[in-house]
Amino acid sequence: MTLFGKKTAEQQTSDVNQAAQAHAYETAIRSISDGVMVIDDSLNIALANPAMLNIAGWGAEDATGLNYKSVLNLLDSTGQPLTDIKCPVLQVKTSNQPVESKDLMVFTKHSNKKVPVFLSVIPSGSDIVVTARDIDAELKEERERTEFVSTASHEMRTPVASIEGYLGLALNPETATIDARAQTYISKAHEAAQHLGRLFQDLLDTTKLDDKRFKIDPKLTDITALARTVFDGQQGRMAKKGLQYVFIPDQVVRGELTLAPILYAQVDQDFLREALDNLIENAAKYTPSGSVEVNVTADSANVVVSVKDSGIGIAPEDLSHLFQKFYRVDSTDTREIGGTGLGLYISKRHVEEVGGRMWAESEYGKGSTFFISVPRLDNTEAEKIRAEETHAEAIRTGAIEQFDPFGNPPAPTPQPTPAAPTPTLPTTESTAPTPAASASARPATPTNSNYYPAPTPQPAVDASAPAPAPIVPNTPTIPTEQPQTVAPTPTTLS
């Protein structure tokens, strides 16, 4: 308590301790190399260390009390300003959940540079703590490593493909004749070459995903039908291992329904097919005996494909790292199973690129279940997208004039209207007229003086001269009893 407006010794000591702690806290923040900014509830800057001001291009200028946007000018990966919906600071303020991103840039104040950063935004009571790290050098090194891996994988994959092809020819009885022992050796070499080729392909796929050197082609897809296609493609592998292999939607159809559920989503079919194929292949690989079940379910928002096995399972300490690049579970059960640790990483990235997500549930020694979830489309949206895709295909093939997405009959093709004959104006030079044999053989003289000038008088022509043949066929000429002089008439245009 206070006495006559003065603090007690205990209160004074407490204030000194709090001030010392605040000073130590601020000193620690100012000394670290990563940029740190504390934003209060009004979105103003309560604290910004020198590293953060350097990243933002402010130098030694004081930014305390300013709105965070005036200092931390964030851009997306394409260099465009962030909208409020995509701004991580506003996302944290709304959801009170931490956000991290390495796909953002900071636009500096004076030099107008775009600095790529790793940004971490964490709620802290009523404040928001933003941590930023300049990752320009890291990205450059990563690009160099990726380029090396991509080039090396491509160069090594070419001779491996040749080896695989020649070994395949050696195993083909139509192209080569070998004894049983040689066939055994060559079969093992062929399997090893195929495995090596898959490893190189995984490396190439990883570099393309990391560099975003791929093109997504989303199309309207019946997820149940796609899952069944992938399921059927793994029948041989399952039969070879003697596993019980079940497609759950078919079980439901035989039991109660007459038609399989049609569950639509708009996805890149190749990406989703590769991810699902990898999950089923892994289920067979890590299940020595037992069963593998593939199921397709849905709610109003998502379609979920699951792959459940009764295999060796995954330990809890490995489950959280399962989808990381090059991560492999190292245990007695998995050491004899080959792989690069890239299959699940690639699958997860493929699913995320089509707007979905992938996760796993497992209990060590009792099997695992992997899930792929993608946004679902209702029938109305699906029909609209189908019409748009059909319309686009009609344009691409040049058949758009025969197609109408609304079912209307095709409109008749418009015919060109014949152009009216264009009159040719007479030349302005004076030329000698052509005498006619008879007045009746001459076409009428136009009277429009705007286009045809008045006839110019010419000297008389001797009628005894031979007259030219009439210009109009089958038109009789009027005979004359004696030669006469005919007034010339200018040549007219037909």
338: Cα within 13 Å, side-chain hemisphere: 7
Are residues 56 and 168 both part of a single domain? no
Does residue 86 fall inside a structural domain?
A: yes
Task: Say if residue 187 is in the same domain as residue 281.
Answer: no
Number of H helices, E strands in the chain: 12, 13
Q: Is there a single domain that holds both residue 286 and residue 345?
A: yes
- Choose one of 364, 380, 396: the last residue of a domain: 380
**207 and 226 inside one domain:** no
Q: Do the domain assignments include residue 45? A: yes
pLDDT digits (tens, 9 = 90+) for 135-172: 988 888 888 877 787 788 778 888 888 998 999 999 99
**For the chain, what's the residue count?**
494
Amino acid identity for residue 302 in this structure: N
Which has more confidence, 293 or 215? 293
Pair (297, 175) in one structural domain: no
Looking at the structure, tell me whether residues 369 and 330 fall in a common domain.
yes
Count Cβ atoms below 10 Å from residue 71 Cβ, excluding itself: 22
Query: What is the average per-residue pLDDT within 389-411?
Result: 63
Task: Look at residue 463 and give its three-state secondary structure.
Answer: coil
Answer yes or no: is 402 within a domain: no
Which amino acid would we find at residue 424? T
Residue 478 contacts by C-beta under 8 Å, 6 or more apart in sequence? 438, 439, 440
Residue 452 lies in a domain: no
Q: How many CA atoms lie within 13 A of 161 on its CB side?
A: 9
pLDDT of residue 2 exceeding 50, the answer is no
Kindly report the number of other CB atoms within 10 A of residue 178's CB atom: 13
Torsion angle, CA of 80/81/85/86, rounded to 10 degrees?
Answer: 60
Contacts of 134 (CB under 8 A, 6+ apart): 35, 55, 115, 116, 117
Evaluate whether residue 315 is within a structural domain: yes
**334 close to 314: Cβ distance less than 8 angstroms:** no
Whether 287 and 309 share a structural domain: yes
Question: Could you tell me if 152 and 120 lie in one domain?
Answer: no
Q: How confident is the model over 261-308, as pLDDT tens digits?
A: 788 998 989 889 989 999 999 999 889 999 999 999 998 889 999 999
CA distances from 148 to 143, 155, 208, 225 (A): 9, 11, 12, 39
Phi/psi class of residue 244: alpha, beta or left (left: φ > 0; alpha: ψ in -120 to 50)?
Answer: beta
User: Which residue type sits at 131?
Assistant: T
Any domain includes 405:
no
Question: CA 49 from chain center: how many Å?
Answer: 39
Same domain? For 176 and 256 the reply is no
pLDDT of residue 3: 46
Task: Specify the CATH number for the domain of residue 266.
Answer: 3.30.565.10
- Is pLDDT above 60 for 1? no
The winner for highest mean pLDDT among 138-142, 215-219, 355-359 is 355-359
Q: What is the pTM of this model?
A: 0.54
Among residues of the chain, what percentage have pLDDT more than 90? 26
Supply the pLDDT for residue 222: 92
Q: How far apart are CA 24 and CA 466, in angstroms?
A: 128
Asked if the model's pLDDT at residue 429 lies above 60, the reply is: no
CATH number of the domain where residue 118 is located: 3.30.450.20
Structure tokens given for 286 = 């890590």
Where is the domain boundary, 155, 184, 211? 211
Say if residue 249 is in the same domain as residue 365: yes
Q: Mark whether 363 and 224 lie in a shared domain.
A: yes
Tell me, yes or no, whether 351 and 278 share the same domain.
Answer: yes
CA–CA gap between residue 301 and residue 126 (Å, rounded) = 33
Whether 343 and 282 have beta carbons less than 8 Å apart is answered as yes
What is the domain extent for residue 100? Answer: 32-134
Residue 310 has pLDDT above 90, yes or no: yes
C-alpha span between 434 and 133 (Å, rounded): 98
CB 153 within 8 A of CB 141: no
First-to-last C-alpha distance (Å) of the chain: 121
User: pLDDT over 70 for what percent of the chain?
Assistant: 70
The total number of structural domains in the chain stands at: 3
Whole-number pLDDT of residue 350:
85
- In angstroms, how far is CA 492 from the centroid of its own chain? 70
350: in domain: yes
- On whether residue 398 sits in a domain, the answer given is no
Look at residues 78, 107, 134 and tell me which one is the last residue of a structural domain.
134
Average pLDDT score over residue span 307-315: 91
Predicted pLDDT of residue 18: 63
**Does pLDDT of 403 surpass 50?**
no
- 205 or 428, which is more confident: 205
Would the pLDDT of 133 be above 70?
Answer: yes
Report yes or no: 138 and 39 within 8 Å, Cβ to Cβ: no
Edge-to-edge strand list for the sheet holding 244-247 = 244-247, 291-298, 302-309, 368-375, 357-362
Tokens of 194: 């195929």
